[in-house]
Amino acid sequence: MAMEREIVRSCVDCGSTRCDEESGAYPYFCLTQQMEEGEKEKLIQAYFDEENEKIMLNAAQIEYEGYCKLCRVEETIEFARRMGYRKIGIATCLGLIRESRILAKVLRANGFEVFGVGCKAGEIRKTAVGIPKECENLGEHICNPIYQAKKLAEEGCELNIVVGLCVGHDSLFYKYAKGVTTTLVVKDRVTGHNPAAALYNAEGYYRAKLFPKKDSASQ
């Protein structure tokens, strides 16, 4: 019989979230408590890098002023404005091109220059990068996140906004993106782009979908 793998506990197993609430006890595995000498100071220093500091202060101020008042589109506009960005790049899935068109319209109406790159731009065949031919039944061309990242950088976009790139394709976009990137829409074809819905239902209607038969939702 296969040995049960030992679970290394971390913040996802923390019942007190003491570092946020400042009440309750730190668990034995608490990451804050286990920080090495000087680590916190090094982190604080990193936030004083010129760009990091600007991002951090603006993000905190928007959170503070707009808490539960601004929607994410408004927060993104506010962030771009306060950062002093003029040109915004949109890396969009073509399945969400309508949403990206509306986003571009909104951004332009707010004074930004916008350049968008659709995921299929470049028209590279799936088989050209080693993807099995049968996958072309869903469409012949690859999503091309490396090109999206490269083109948005070439166009001088100061802020990239991701709209609905697929899992993994988004990873490549983030890997190759130059400059600052934020995500507006996370693709989920099943839940209307609301992956949290699956989590809300994970211990209910989605249990059989998300947990292997022998596993337990309460681990």
Provide the residue type at 196 as one letter.
A
State the residues that interact with ligand SF4 by CB under 6 A. 11, 14, 16-19, 26-27, 30-32
- Choice between 23 and 216, CB closer to ligand SF4: 23
CB of 124 to ligand SF4, least distance (A): 42
- Choice between 34 and 171, CB closer to ligand SF4: 34
CB of 17 to ligand SF4, least distance (A): 5
Between the alpha carbon of residue 148 and those of residues 120, 122, 145, the distances in Å are 9, 9, 5
Measured torsion, CA atoms of residues 195, 200, 202, 203, in degrees rounded to the nearest 10: 180
Sign of dihedral through CA atoms 201, 202, 208, 210?
positive
- Choice between 33 and 52, CB closer to ligand SF4: 33
Between the alpha carbon of residue 77 and those of residues 65, 92, 144, 197, 204, the distances in Å are 14, 17, 26, 26, 37
- Choice between 32 and 61, CB closer to ligand SF4: 32
- Residue 189 and residue 201: Cα distance in Å, rounded? 16
CB of 8 to ligand SF4, least distance (A): 12
CB of 37 to ligand SF4, least distance (A): 17
